[in-house]
Amino acid sequence: MIGKTCARCLTHYQYLSSTTEAAEEKFSMLKRKDSLLKENDKLKLEKQSLLRSRDFVDAQSATLKKSMENLQRDMKNRDNMVQDVKQSLEQRRKELTICKAEITLLKKHMEGAQPTEDKTSGDVDRQTPSLESYKEEIHLVRKEIERLRSAKSSDAQPVGSLHSV
């Protein structure tokens, strides 16, 4: 029996000595566990922060993409407007050239239709209404030329400002 008691004592002694070590080890493991839990919480917070940052960057990216698409659409519209203005300007130039040619032709026709003192009074009376209608027509053509010039100058200004944009 004494052998059995000694064996038990030895086991109990080992248990007591190991419990101190076990307690220290358990305490160390609990400290390590707390440390890891704190680190894990920090990492979770950092992950949430990074996810919020990513969402913010994604939203900014989408906004910038829409803005870029709108700017490209605006540029295309401006290019179309510039082309329209150029075509309109060219058309007005052609109209002005035609009007100038008509004025020149009318002036030559008027010079040729001027009554001379050698003609009889009947011929002069017959040409006077014709001359008056030519003068009226010339007056109308001059007004049209002035209108075209003012339209041309107003068209030329936006074209210049569009190129500067």
- HEC sequence for the chain: CHHHHHHHHHHHHHHHHHHHHHHHHHHHHHHHHHHHHHHHHHHHHHHHHHHHHHHHHHHHHHHHHHHHHHHHHHHHHHHHHHHHHHHHHHHHHHHHHHHHHHHHHHHHHHHHHCCCCCCCHHHHHHHHHHHHHHHHHHHHHHHHHHHHHHHHHHHHHHHHHHHHC
pTM above 0.95, yes or no: no
Owning domain of residue 11: 2-164
Q: What angle do CA 66, 61, 69 make, to 5 degrees?
A: 20
User: Six-digit token pair at 97?
Assistant: 């050239």
Question: How many structural domains are present in the chain?
Answer: 1
Query: What is the model's pLDDT at position 85?
Result: 94
Tokens representing 14 are 């080992």
- What pLDDT is attached to residue 132? 81
Give pLDDT, residue 127: 53
CA distance 7 to 13: 10
Place of tokens 């009226």: 136
CB 163 within 8 A of CB 86: no
pLDDT score, position 134: 80
- Residues of the chain below pLDDT 50: 117, 124, 159-165
Residue 60 pLDDT: 97
Question: Which pLDDT score, from 0 to 100, does residue 115 have?
Answer: 62
